[in-house]
Amino acid sequence: MSLLPLIAALAALSSGSPEPASTPAPAAAARPNEAGGFSRLVVPDGQGPAIEAGVWAPPGGGRGLPLVVISHGNGGDFRSHEDTAQALARAGFVVAALTHTGDNWRDQSRATDVAGRPRQLAVLIDYMLGAWEGRTSLDPARVGAFGFSAGGFTVLTAAGGQADLSRIGEHCQANPGFYDCRLIAARPVAVEAPRWTHDARIKAVVIAAPALGFAFSREGLAAVRQPVQLWEAGRDQVLPAPWYVEPVRAGLPTPPEFHRVEDAGHFDFLRPCTPQLAAAAPAVCAPTPGFDRTAFHERFNAEVVRFLKARL
């Protein structure tokens, strides 16, 4: 699978939403819907362009609500896990998902800025707890994070993980055809002691098919003390075993709640596609043979909700 068709497919997947995708919403869109529902907003970032985000809130509002932030994979946007966000909102969570600056379907200029991603996630948490107009409904002690692929790396790092990026060279020499290695070959990663952003406000983490898992050692994961739910696709063609999920599972100081979905492919963690999107984005929407993504997401979303309810 080459990079350009995949990014084009992710663009089609993201832009298929009824929401216009060409520009971020105006700042006024930050006003929460008191009856619950979806709001699109712009989050100021003092170190870069404003961050596009979406917020799903439970109907009826309330006080002391838990917050879950979502980090998408390479080339996605804040809608990449829309069905999971909606399931969490129905269960009483406020969910905020960002579009990572420079790593989205419109802009790949920072696609390998692995240190920038967790910093942006912290900016989103800052905004939701400190500036969002619905902030009084949130309990700042109940913050969780969900991440897929590059987003899995993002939330694992935000939760305290320290990746050793010097491992990339050896890994990609041995596996030059892997998706992440081809992406890094096009946009090399700076491996010299990046400034990682860790966020102690994150109390529970859900990770699906994490990128760069091989870069985490037991020592590098020692500070990740939060409960972790970890998902692996048994037929992951983008980040294949045993280089990604396995090192994370083995290195966490407390064994995670682990789910291996035997017949799933990498993109089966993304929201199910409509027929129109499937025609436009076959690289990410084409059915994995013998696997029902829609049926899986009913179970997947229920398990994510259950885990975060128990841990937050």
Q: Concatenated DSSP letters for the chain?
A: --HHHHHHHHHHHHHTSSS--SSPPPGGGGS--TT-EEEEEEE--TTSSPEEEEEEE-TT--SSEEEEEEE--TT--TTTTHHHHHHHHHTT-EEEEE--TTSSSS--TTTT-TTHHHHHHHHHHHHHHHTSTTGGGEEEEEEEEEEETHHHHHHHHHTT----TTHHHHHHHH-TTSHHHHHHHHSPPP-S-------TTEEEEEEES-TTGGG--TTTTTT--S-EEEEEETT-SSS-TTSSHHHHHHHSSS--EEEEETT--GGGGSPPPPHHHHHH-HHHHSPPTT--HHHHHHHHHHHHHHHHHHH-
CATH number at residue 185: 3.40.50.1820
d(CA 136, CA 230): 31
| Residue listed under structure tokens 């696609």 | 111
Residue-level pLDDT at 4 = 43
Tell me how many domains the chain contains.
1
Residue 45 sits in which domain range?
Answer: 3-311
Question: HSE on the CB side for 103, CA within 13 Å?
Answer: 24
pLDDT of residue 144: 98
Task: Supply the pLDDT for residue 61.
Answer: 77
The pTM of the full predicted model, rounded to 2 decimals, is: 0.91
Which has the closest alpha carbon to 171: 255, 76, 266, 247? 247
- Confidence at residue 14, expressed as pLDDT on a 0 to 100 scale: 55
Mean pLDDT for back-to-back runs of 10 residues, the chain (312 residues):
47 45 34 66 96 96 94 96 97 98 95 95 98 96 98 98 96 96 91 88 98 98 98 97 98 98 97 89 90 97 98 97
